[in-house]
Amino acid sequence: MDAISVIRTKRDRGELSPEQIDWVIDAYTRGEVADEQMSALAMAILLNGMNRTEIARWTAAMIASGERMDFGALSRPTTDKHSTGGVGDKITLPLAPLVAACGAAVPQLSGRGLGHTGGTLDKLESIPGWRAHISNAEMLDVLDTTGAVICAAGDGLAPADKKLYALRDVTGTVEAIPLIASSIMSKKIAEGTGALVLDVKVGSGAFMKTIEDARELASTMVALGTDSGVRTVALLTDMSTPLGLTAGNALEVRESVEVLAGGGPKDVVDLTLALAREMLDAAGLKDADPEKALADGSAMDVWRRMISAQGGDPDARLPVAREQHVISAPSSGVLTRLDAYDIGVAAWRLGAGRARKEDPVQAGAGVELHAKPGDTVTEGQPLMTLHTDTPEKFEYALKALPGSYDIAPSGTPFTATPVVRERIA
């Protein structure tokens, strides 16, 4: 085998053989295939695509590059969720303890934010003492004692994907659907969960901007999971508007705790319950009632034990940014649009996100919303508050926001987009 022949096959719109795929993934992981060669292959895949057989073999090769976890010793069925990322997407935080409170084990391997999308680990690290990195033995122990764990994936899990993702990020090939699907599913299958629910975002704040692209990605991942023996279902969910009323790390933790306490914004609660029901159904726990677990405080109890098990203090005061800037409504009327991408970019520029994986983030930075589409606003009332420790960032963040919302005359009809748009199984 040689890299050039593999590149040429896909460049010329051919189908990669199983042997070519196995070889190129293994050789790239070992350093035998250079970054520039894998970059050329990734671009050829972006432009020319892959069929289901190729994607399945590519995913299997990435799984084979590392270890596979086994939760067979647990007394509970395992079920997991993966989101393709969005703005204000704090759903994992209330969802994992909620599903655990209903009898499942939730091994949630999560990531960090990059660009305008937030990362679950960054959010949780705003809780004093909380640790994202734990060993496999610690992960199993937390799962066994609390029912849920949210942590970083270990270096031994699909190392080929870790190397390839970093390359895709700097070569303009992140959007390749076969590579997105295999990246997500290689880690989730290697993780060893018995069931998986995919939250595929669609809209301005998502990587998939159109319902057609989101549907293609979801269908591809459901097929990969099913072919690997993992019960898999996908929900296509709206990301044209930020989820909830916050975009930022500590801000979103605070809002998540409100949901666990029985409150919180309706869209966050609705999506959390929809995903919980799918996860419990996939795990064979059809009779469990997640709405009851929110109302009776059992989900909150699991949250507190889960955070404490990884060194966090669930009672600690969350970080608050030193500086705030309020944006007021320029006119009265009905708020008809609030663009998720623009809000995400503003939060990122305030310090809530990073441009490179090694960049630090500010725990208290972000955007707090005071109205959502469909709400009536009056001239001069606060629309959003920007939070940061570094006030010089306000000017740069404000440049993302002039076209981020629309206010129509009072009485203008408004129809909200459903949070869950489609289900694919």
**Which residues have a catalytic role annotated?**
82, 161, 168, 183, 187
Beta strands 231-238 and 420-424 are antiparallel
- β-partners of residue 323 are 388
| Rounded Cα gap, residues 394 and 388, in angstroms | 8
Pair of tokens at residue 364: 């208290």
| Rounded Cα gap, residues 120 and 149, in angstroms | 12
Rounded to a whole number of angstroms, the CA Rg of the chain reads 22
Q: Taking the alpha carbons of 215, 225, 142, 152 in that order, is the dihedral positive or negative?
A: negative
- β-partners of residue 327 are 384
Q: HSE (CB half, 13 Å, CA atoms) of 418?
A: 7
Buried b / exposed e along 330-364 (16+ C-beta atoms within 10 A): eeebbbbebbbbbbbbbbbbbbbbbeeeeeebbbb
Q: Strands of 366-369's sheet, edge to edge? A: 246-248, 366-369, 382-388, 323-328
Residues 6+ apart with CB under 8 A from 38: 3, 24, 28, 164, 167
| Rounded Cα gap, residues 225 and 188, in angstroms | 9
Closest CA to 271 of 89, 63, 23, 128: 89
Helices 266-282 & 249-260, crossing angle to 10 degrees? 70
- For tokens 């299958």, name the residue: 189
Are 406 and 369 in contact, with CB atoms under 8 Å apart?
no
Helices 298-309 & 249-260, crossing angle to 10 degrees? 140
